[in-house]
Amino acid sequence: MAYLAIKNLSKSFQNNLVLDHINFEIEKGTFLSLLGPSGCGKTTTLRLIAGFEHQDEGTIHIGGNTIDTLPPYKRNIGLVFQSYALFPHMTVGQNIAYGLEQRNFTKGDIKKEVSKALEMVQLTGFENRKPRQLSGGQQQRVALARALVIKPSLLLLDESLSALDKKLRVDMQIELRQIQKEVGITTLFVTHDQEEAMTLSDQIAVMKNGKIVQMDTPQNIYKNPVNSFVASFIGQSNFLKGRIKENSQFVLQNGSTFSLPQQDYSLYNQEEYIISVRPEKIRVDQTRPSYPHIQGKVKFVTYIGNLSMYLIEALGHDIRIQQQNDSYRDQLKVNDEIYFSWNASDQSILTE
C-alpha cells in the first residue's frame, strides 16, 4: 500500500453530499495539490484527514495504519491554516514549542528543536516576538515551522499562501517547495489557484462536486485534460463543440465547418465532441497556407509585454490566440484577416 491511502471517503453535511467516495494514493515524500473551485470538497478532504470532521464512509491510511478512530490530537499531522492560526498570546518561540510540550520533550530539547526550526524558516532571532509584530510572510513561516517541528507523518496546507500578496506568494512558493523537499515530508496542499498548484506539486488532483476528476502530474494534466472542466480550470483553452465527419471535417453546432489537422479520426464515432486547443498552441499565418486552416478576423488585441493576446472572430466563435512578441514577428492589428491552425498533437478531443 502507498504511504497515504484514501479509500472510498464520503461525507455529507445536512443531506448534502460534499465528498463522494473519493480514492487516491500517494507515495512518501510526494507533494500533492487538491485543486478545485470552492465547494468541490477539497477542504473537507483535508479536515477529514486532520480529524476535525468524521467521514460517513471510507478509510484513511497513513504508513499502512488506519487513523480513522484517532482524535485530531493523536494523529500527528502538521497543519498550516489559511489564517495561519498562530496563538496570539504566545511568542513565536512559544508557538513553535507548543506541539513539543504536548509530546513531553524536555526543556533543553525544546529549546534546541525550536531554534533549529526557526533556522529552517530563516527567522532566527524572532523567538520573542508576538505574531502580530510579524509580517504576513513571517507569520506564514512561523506556522510552517510550528507544523514541521513535531515531525508529523503528513503535512497539510490549507490555502496557506492565499493571504499573501502576489510577489511574496511567489517567493514563498519556492521556499515552501525547498523546505518540503529538504524535510522529505509527504504534503497535501489545498488550493483553488491553478498556477500555485502547477508550481508546487508533484501531483495534482483536480476536484469538482466532491469527486476527483483527474489526478496526474502537472504536465500531463495540462497536456491531456480529461474534460473541458479540467482544461479550463488549468490554464486557458478554446472549446469547439460539434461533430466529426469523415475526411476530418468538423461541423460546429452553428453549422459552420472546418478541416481538422491530419490525424486518424475513425475511432471518434460518437455524436458530439469538444475540441480543446490552448491559445498558445495556435499558429497564425497572414497568407493562406496549404494545410488545413480556419480563416478569421482580429477583433481585439491585448499587449502583455512579452506576449500578446488576440481575440479572433471565426466560425461564429471567439477564439483566443496567444503569441510571443518576437522581433521577427509583426504584431497583429484589429481587423487583420488571418489564417490559423494547430497540430493534431496539440488538440484534445473531449467528450464533456
Partner 1 sequence: MLKKGIAWVYTCIIFTFLYAPIAVLMLMSFNESQYNSLPFQFSTRWYNELANNQTLIDSSLTSIYVAAITALFCVILATMLMLWIVQTKSPLKKWIDSLIILPLTIPWLILGLSILLLLNLLNWDKNFYILLVGHIIISLPYTVMVIKARLQSLDFSINEASASLGANEWTTFRKITFPLLFPAMLAGGFLAFVISFDNFILSYFLIPSGQSTLPIEIYSSIKFGFTPEINAVSTVLLAGTTIIIIFIVTVMKASLKFLFK
Reduce the secondary structure of the chain to three states and give it as a string.
Answer: CCCEEEEEEEEEECCEEEEEEEEEEECCCCEEEEECCCCCCHHHHHHHHHCCCCCCEEEEEECCEECCCCCHHHCCEEEECCCCCCCCCCCHHHHHHHHHHHCCCCHHHHHHHHHHHHHHCCCCCCCCCCHHHCCHHHHHHHHHHHHHCCCCCEEEEECCCCCCCHHHHHHHHHHHHHHHHHHCCCEEEEECCHHHHHHHCCEEEEEECCEEEEEECHHHHHHCCCCHHHHHHCCCCEEEEEEEECCCEEEECCCCEEECCCCCCCCCCCCCEEEEECHHHCEEECCCCCCCCEEEEEEEEEEECCEEEEEEEECCEEEEEEEECCCCCCCCCCCCEEEEECCHHHEEEECC
93 binds partner 1 (CB under 8 A): no
As measured in angstroms, the least distance from the Cβ of 117 to partner 1 is 13
147 binds partner 1 (CB under 8 A): yes
Residue whose CB is less far from partner 1, 38 or 270: 38
Residue whose CB is less far from partner 1, 37 or 71: 71
Query: Interacting stretch for partner 1, rule CB under 8 A, among 98-106, 218-226, 264-272, 290-298?
Result: 98-106
Terminal Cα distance for the chain, rounded: 33
Calpha distance 299→337 (Å, rounded): 10
343 binds partner 1 (CB under 8 A): no
Residue whose CB is less far from partner 1, 17 or 85: 85
As measured in angstroms, the least distance from the Cβ of 186 to partner 1 is 15
Query: Interacting stretch for partner 1, rule CB under 8 A, among 145-153, 173-181, 242-250, 316-324?
Result: 145-153
Residue whose CB is less far from partner 1, 82 or 249: 82
As measured in angstroms, the least distance from the Cβ of 175 to partner 1 is 21
Residue whose CB is less far from partner 1, 63 or 235: 63
As measured in angstroms, the least distance from the Cβ of 84 to partner 1 is 8
State which of positions 71-90 bind partner 1 (CB under 8 A). Answer: 71-79, 81-83, 85-89
Alpha carbon separation from 292 to 131, 244, 248, 339, 350 (Å, rounded) = 61, 15, 10, 10, 20
Residue whose CB is less far from partner 1, 123 or 338: 123
State which of positions 275-334 bind partner 1 (CB under 8 A). Answer: none
Which one of residues 141, 146, 278, 293 is an interface residue with partner 1 (CB under 8 A)?
146
> Between vectors from CA 334 to CA 330 and to CA 337, what angle results, nearest 5°?
75
Q: Which of 91, 201, 109, 187 is nearest to 149 (CA)?
A: 109
Residue whose CB is less far from partner 1, 70 or 198: 70
42 binds partner 1 (CB under 8 A): no
As measured in angstroms, the least distance from the Cβ of 104 to partner 1 is 10
Q: How many residues bind partner 1 (CB under 8 A)?
A: 27
As measured in angstroms, the least distance from the Cβ of 52 to partner 1 is 6
Which one of residues 7, 17, 98, 183 is an interface residue with partner 1 (CB under 8 A)?
98
52 binds partner 1 (CB under 8 A): yes
Residue whose CB is less far from partner 1, 81 or 339: 81
Which one of residues 59, 102, 217, 253 is an interface residue with partner 1 (CB under 8 A)?
102
> Which residues lie near partner 1 (CB under 8 A)?
50-52, 71-79, 81-83, 85-89, 98-99, 102-103, 146-147, 150
